[in-house]
Amino acid sequence: MGVNLQNYHLTILGCGVMGGAVLNAILKSEFTPYPASITACVGSEQEAVSLRKTLDSKVEISYGEHNTEAVKKADVIILGLKPYLFEPVIESVKSGLADGDKLLISLMAGWTIDDIKPYSKYVARIMTNTPARFGCGTAIVSLSKEAEPYEEVVMNLISTVGKAMRLPEKNMDAATSLVGSGPAFCLLMMEAMIDGGVRMGIPYAVAKECAAKVMEGTAKMVMETGEHPASLKSAVCTPGGTTIGGLMVMEDKGVRSGIARAIEEAANIASELGKKK
């Protein structure tokens, strides 16, 4: 029968950091087809009361045993659960999935399309990151074969976080590392730049602002010029100057390989998460 996308109902099952970030991004955006109605599901009444204070009154809020009904009436469900909670939560609302014609959009690390398919053959697997909260996140999207006809609605929903791109599912562990863990790696670099500025006498608040704007501006420069980062980096290096001196110290300390190996290690851990279920 397929997924109904005519005046469809969207349910967010799990409104923690990532589920809440995607929901907020959707609420701030306009696209077609837009959900006719939205329900946000959390685990307890206390969480529901807290969430109500932050959401538009048009969004319904469900919790606990009421979540089964929220799942049942949904046409599209975003799975924003912590990975270790997926099995107990999905089993508790399983009766609401009995018709098997819902589009399931998973934000959970480690859970493959095949893991989720027993609940619906229409599955989209997403890896996004915390900047999604501010509409400047990145999302990698993989679809089951059966979900391919619904690519447009998936991309429209997920593009609200910032930038959404398609990749085969085999690349999802690497995407989990580069995209999902990437903000933490960038923040460590930013923190080090701030510390360096403070060490050389710049007040912390100013050093923080400078480091953040330098990273923001550099990212924009890469995106807008389309040039290789190495080319842009070379343009900053005056012969015998400060920049090349600093870069040589970073190379001596293994900064480049340390960052690259961090991506590799995080990807390896992501692949192990899937095996531990």
- pLDDT, one tens digit per residue, over 44-92 is 888 899 888 888 778 999 988 899 999 999 999 999 998 889 999 999 9
Question: Does 137 carry a binding-site annotation?
Answer: no
Q: Are 172 and 142 in contact (CB under 8 A)?
A: yes
Of 182, 185, 179, nearest to 139 by C-alpha is 179
Residue 100 and residue 27 share a domain: yes
Residue 185 and residue 161 share a domain: no
- pLDDT, one tens digit per residue, over 96-149 is 998 888 999 999 988 999 999 999 999 999 999 989 888 899 999 999 999 999
Write the CATH number for 91.
3.40.50.720
The SS3 of residue 140 is: strand
Per the domain annotation, does 82 fall within a domain? yes
Q: Which of 118, 133, 167 is the last residue of a domain?
A: 167
Residue 102 and residue 45 share a domain: yes
Question: Does 14 carry a binding-site annotation?
Answer: yes
Instruction: State the maximum Cα–Cα separation within the chain, in Å, rounded to a whole number.
Output: 69
Distance CA 69, CA 97 (A): 10
Distance CA 27, CA 264 (A): 35
- Structural domain that includes position 228: 175-275
pTM for this prediction? 0.88
- pLDDT, one tens digit per residue, over 243-262 is 999 999 999 999 999 999 99
Write the CATH number for 186.
1.10.3730.10
Question: Does 222 carry a binding-site annotation?
Answer: no
